[in-house]
Structure 1
Amino acid sequence: MTNQSLQSAIDRQGSAVEVLRNAYSRPFTFPVTPEFTNWRSEQASWRDSCALLDQSHHMADLFVRGPDATKFFTWIGTNSAAGYQVGRAKQLVAVNHDGYLIGDGILFHLGEDSFDLVALPMLSDWVEYNISSGDWDVTLERDDHSLIRQGDPKLFRYELQGPNALAIIEKVTGKPAPELKFFHMGEIEVGGHSVGVLRHGMAGQPGFELWGPWGDAAGVREQLLADGEEFGITPVGAKGYSSANLGSGWVPSPPPAIFQPELKAYREWLDVSKAGSLGGSFYSTDITDYYLTPYDIGLGRSVSFDHEFLGKEALQRHSEDKRRTKVTLVWNKDDVKDALGSILGDGIPAKYIELPKSRYALYQTDRILKEGETVGMSLDVGYLANEQAFLSLATIDVGHSQTGTEVVVVWGEEPNSRKVQVERHRQVEIRATVAPAPFSEFARGGYRAP
């Protein structure tokens, strides 16, 4: 924390774009072991056997309890009011007064008027502010992520993903796996510990999310590894985990729409260190050009107009004018090779491409061109060894969203920003082909089917 508000930083520097584009913040990494073996083999585990991913450290838990808890989340979320049921989770989506996206996270309905929201700061900060500034009869307990929290997490959270996940659950529990529908919750016993379980899916594969008190974390993990050995269970480190969303199609950190005049009080409340950073070739002096609607990145399935919520009227207008849609872009292998190889040549190289995840700002925004005209933004980028493909998740004009359409992604910044993640480099154009999102066939036909 800097004890400087986002609004004061904007007042000093003159614009939100300049604050975010030149933000001084370390590159964000999942605060877990980078690799247990190597990230290529670890990526293969969620396709061939079973990946064990540690989700305990990189998101905040917001525990919200009280008579107004359900009422509050119904008001702040676009999700159907009929979907709030104990024992179920949902992908909570929030928008601002003008119907533009704030963020999304997973909301666990633990008990009557008791919730746990697991989310990145874009949504967790928004929820905390609206509770603290409103007249809601609730209590809020925040357990932040491990990069800023002092001490251990309140809960462990593990993910089992891959074709052998079901078999491992049955071996660990000694009984048939609980028959849970997608995003329904239950309870199992692992090594003598009571463990919550959510039927889940990510990385393009089916699986389960497990959670419980932090004091049980080591024992549960040891039991999973022991019983899962015969099924090829593979611990996955931060590098592999950070790329898992590229196959399942989830955009982890779209730019939040928090810069309208009506939200000045929120920006005065929000520490500038939590505001994030903009990076990439898409550059506009108008911060609203970075705004997205839920429909732009495939979150429309979490929108229902069956209740009153913040931004409803504006979002209804967006729903009638869906200009962009989410796609996967498959980057041209020869152009990627040239960009990677430029660090070995003469002259100024292209922006360095980190593998497997190549995003270098919290809000990655790269320009997509068609015949020289901007037709969208590439938002999250990296390499999947299972596909032997370099991909990005993008939002693109509907007229150019057909599978097989050829476009160009501009990689690198012009001019180079002052972010510490950015070295002196030159922009390059990389050809790309539009593909479905999710890219994984299982995710398209299974848990993320429309």
Structure 2
Amino acid sequence: MSSESPALSSESPATSSESLATSSESLATSSESLATPSESLATALARAGSPAELLRNLPSPPSTFPVRPEFTNWRSEQRSWVETCALLDQSHHMTDLFLSGPDALRLLGDVAVNSFAGFGVGKAKQFVAVDPDGFLIGDAILFHLEDELFDLVGHPMVIDWVTFHLERGGYRATAERDDNSAVRTAGPPRLYRYELQGPTAAALVEQVTGAPLPDVKFFNMAEFGIAGRRVRGLRHGMAGQPGFELFGPWADGDAVLQALLTAGADHGLVRVGAKAYSTANLESGWVPAPMAALFSDDPLMQEYREWLPVAKVGSIGGSHDPADISGHYLTPFDIGYGKTVRFDHEFIGRAALERMAEAPPRTKVTLVWNAEDVAAAVGSLYRPGPGAKYIEMPKARYATHHEDKVLKDGRQVGISLDCGYLANERVMVSLATVENEHAEPGTEVTVVWGEQPVSGKPAVEEHVQVEIRATVAPVPFVDFAREGYRTR
């Protein structure tokens, strides 16, 4: 949208790098300011004796959303993105790493499996990084805001990895990190982010902007005028529904929010809290916070463990208990990022991924848990114990990285990852990666719920493991469910 657009007044703040507080002058940070005064992962590992012993007993909780848990109730809030429009406040739970400088794009290309051909200003992409052996470090969303200005947004795992390489690599680039509100030491976020998703989202955007919806492709950005403020919007989708992620300087956030709420009254707008929002990925199929592959003997990884504070490393929970820590690792192909991998540039882990790409052994699926078995596990809490591990609603994950065994005829054939309840379909599901021969929808498998021996994580009580039958379904589950799983 040009500055002459009637939707924008001449007094509207510009969305320049200055208004985003991310100009190249403000981005300069030293390695000291980015470091956390904490014991390194290497030191903690030496004391614990093994990676599994360390991560099994870390007190790190599952990722949280530091916003109001519910505005109405999480069941109705889940329904809003199917029937009308959901408004989700994403301002507080993600970490931003603003990168600026002539070598910023080169740094990103050296670290990511993605291709950056044609990645111009106004575009975004799922950014995926791996270790030298091709195992996942993490993923985030990368925004190309301006020439030589990028914003990497997501969980800290991949952001720490990029920061490490910036500090050691001699790049002509600078960075500024804005941690999420759960750990930020002072002040509000640098940017507000509001997600609008659902069948009426497009009409709501047209009303609040006073202009036709721009023809913008998926994961491309547009500019809007809302409440006299200039707003950037990423064409996005969540839980199989259309929408936009709107963002801009924090100082504009309240005015934009109030305008959305006012216009939203005509479109069934529902504010969504942390509980419902935490389950949206189960419908769309995105695996949040896969465990980072940190423990190989590669010299690069040894150096990284010396650099990385153990406080930045998440805990492992669940029944999956391989003999070696590498059994917890995932590849991009395991969780649906195979199409993201491009061998048109050199990057960390390229050679390993080229070998893996020849015949990836596992496929991402949805597992629909057997209702009777889930009810029996919950019911065990009302009988003399110990019973099954408590199943939290609506999100059942109880560690940073949740990994449960998936069995077929008593043999482990996969890993169940993120699990929770979908009120729209009235089912408990998990995202999983399973051997290709067992990935066909309709295949019957078993999820082992709970861990033995019981770990020292604060969220883990005395319990017994139970087996829960499950049925393989496609990813994303939301499309399959609405077309064939159950008549609505």
Structure 2 match to 1:198 = 234
CA offsets per residue over residues 349-408 of structure 1, 9 Å max, x none?
Answer: 100000000000111000000000000000000000001111000000001000000000
Does 2:381 align with 1:346?
no
Q: Return the match for 2:177 from 137, 142, 167.
A: 142
Secondary structure of 1:221's partner?
helix
Question: Does the 8 Å CA contact 2:61/2:398 hold for their aligned counterparts?
Answer: no
What is the CA-CA distance between 1:84 and the residue it aligns to? 1.7
Q: 1:194 to 1:145 in 2, by over 3 A?
A: same
1:286 deviation in Å?
1.1
**2:122 counterpart (87, 108, 120):** 87
Q: Which residue of 2 aligns with 1:156?
A: 192
Q: What's the Cα RMSD here? A: 1.3
Residue matched to 1:448: none
Normalised by the length of structure 1, the TM-score is 0.97
The equivalent of 1:125 in structure 2 is 160
Q: How does 1:163-242 map to 2 (within 5 A)?
A: 163-242=199-278
Query: How far apart in 2 are the matches of 1:159 and 1:215?
Result: 18
Which residue is equivalent to 1:277? Answer: 315
CA distance in 2, matches of 1:38, 1:340: 21
Hey, what does 1:102 align to over in structure 2? 137
The aligned counterpart of 1:249 is: 285
Secondary structure of 1:379's aligned partner: strand
Structure 2 residues without counterparts, runs of 5 or longer: 1-35, 484-488
| 1:135 Cα deviation after fit | 1.0
1:140 CA displacement: 0.4
Aligned to 1:264: 302
Question: Are the equivalent residues in 1 in contact too, given 2:60–2:399 (CA < 8 A)?
Answer: no
CA distance in 2, matches of 1:255, 1:26: 13
Post-superposition offset of 1:329: 0.1
CA contact (8 A) 2:425 2:481 kept: no
**Percent same amino acid at aligned positions?**
58
Cα displacement (A) at 1:306: 1.2
- How high is the TM-score relative to the length of structure 2? 0.90
- Find 1:48's aligned residue among 83, 102, 105: 83
The residue type equivalent to 2:406 in the other structure is I
SS, match of residue 104 in structure 1: strand
Q: Gapped runs of 5+ residues in structure 1?
A: 446-450
| Alpha-carbon distance in structure 2 between the residues aligned to 1:242 and 1:376 | 23
Q: Structure 1 residues 320-329 or 25-34, which shifts more?
A: 25-34
Superposed, 1:421-440 pairs within 5 Å as: 421-440=459-478
Residues 109-120 of structure 1 aligned to structure 2 (within 5 Å): 109-120=144-155
Matched residues, number: 445
Tell me, yes or no, if the aligned pair for 1:438 and 1:444 is still in contact at 8 Å: no
State whether residues 441 and 473 of structure 2, in contact with CA within 8 Å, keep that contact through their aligned partners in structure 1: yes
For 1:303 and 1:242, how far apart are their aligned partners in 2?
27
The offset of 1:2, in angstroms, is 6.3
CA positional deviation for 1:347: 2.2
Give the greater-gyration-radius structure (CA): 2
State yes or no: 1:78 paired with 2:116: no
The whole-number CA distance in structure 2 between the counterparts of 1:165 and 1:82 is 31
Q: Does 1:22 align with 2:57?
A: yes
Q: Does 1:12 align with 2:50?
A: no
Which amino acid in the other structure matches residue 414 of structure 2? G
Kindly state the Cα deviation for residue 443 of structure 1 after the two structures are TM-superposed: 11
Q: 2-side partners of 1:205 and 1:111: how far apart?
A: 28
SS in 2 for 1:434: strand
Residue identity in the other structure for 1:70:
L
